[in-house]
Amino acid sequence: MNGPVIHVGFDPGLHLFVPHHRRPGATAVVTDGVSTLGHVVESLGVPLTEVGALVVDGREVPVSYVPRAAETVQVCAVARPQQVPGAPLRFLLDVHLGTLARRLRLLGVDTAYESTDIGDPALAARSAAEKRVMLSRDRGLLRRRELWAGAYVYSTRPEDQLQDVLDRFRPELRPWTRCTACNGLVREATKDEVADQLEHGTHRTYDVFARCLDCGRAYWKGAHHDQLEAIVERALAGYADRS
C-alpha cells in the first residue's frame, strides 16, 4: 500500500496478534486510502472477533470507517462480559477443542462440536445458519466474513480455555443437563430404561440414572464423577465470586 499514513495502537490484550514492533504505543501504518479500518486492523493480524471499540482521534467509529492521513487509531479489546445479541447464546467448536466442548456441555451450555475437520467454509456456514458463536484458535477461520459471531480461544489448556470462555461470555450454567457426547438434553431415567447399557457391577451398585433424550446414552455417578463434580464446582464458584 502507498497512501495515507495513520498511527495505530493496540490494547495490551491484543498484543498476542501483532508483531513486537507494533506493540509499544501507536505505530505508523501506510494505508491505501480506500480500505476500511476493519480491513486495516485484520491486515495487521487482529481478527475482528477480538476487537471492541475502534477509536479515531478520540471518537468511536465503525469497522466500515475509512481512515484518513495522520489520524490516530486506538484498537480496543472486546469488553467483558461480551454481549451477543440476536439469538440465545450458544457455541460451535472446531475439531481441536473437544475437551472444552465436553466441559461446556457438562455445565449445561449449548455447545455444538465437529469431531472431524469439515473445513473452515463449512464451519463458518454452520455458525451463520445456527447463529452460534464460533470458538477456535484458527485465526483464519475467525476472519471469515460469513461467520455469525466468533471468539479466539487464547490458551491450549482446557482448564484455562473453559475459564476464559466463561469469563468472556458469562453463559447461563445448568450443570448435568446436557449430554457430553452429543449435546442433547439429559433427563432422569429408571434402571430398567438404561439396563441394556449397564455392566453387571454397575447394575448392582447404582440406582440413580439419567439418559440423553437424543442419543440415548446413560449416565450415573461412576468412577470419574468426583473429577467432573470438581469442574462444576469451580465454575459455579467463579460465577459466585463475580456476582
Question: Which of these ranges, 30-39, 119-128, 203-212, has the smallest mean pLDDT?
Answer: 203-212
Residues 6+ apart with CB under 8 A from 93: 100, 101, 104, 111, 112, 113, 114, 134, 135, 136
Question: pLDDT for 87-110, tens place per residue?
Answer: 999 999 999 999 999 999 999 999
CA neighbor of 7 nearest in space, from 16, 22, 17, 15: 22
Q: What is the mean pLDDT of residues 153-167?
A: 97
104 torsion bin: left (phi>0), alpha (psi -120 to 50), beta (else): alpha
Q: What is the mean pLDDT of residues 130-159?
A: 97
Instruction: Write down the pLDDT at residue 223.
Output: 80
> E strands of 32-71, at which residues?
51-56, 59-61
Amino acid identity at 14: L
Cα gap 238→226, rounded to integer Å: 18
Using H for helix, E for strand and C for coil, what is the string for 45-105? CCCHHHEEEEEECCEEECCCCCCCCCCEEEEEECCCCCCCCCCCCCEEECCCCHHHHHHHH
3-state secondary structure of 168: helix
Q: Which residues pair with 188 in a beta bridge?
A: 210
Distance of CA 62 to the CA centre of its chain: 23
Instruction: Write down the pLDDT at residue 243.
Output: 61
Q: What is the mean pLDDT of residues 177-181?
A: 97
Question: pLDDT for 33-85, tens place per residue?
Answer: 999 999 999 999 999 999 999 999 999 999 999 999 999 999 999 999 999 99
Q: 195 and 126 in contact (C-beta within 8 Å)? A: no
Q: Give the DSSP letter of residue 83.
A: P
Instruction: Write down the pLDDT at residue 1.
Output: 54
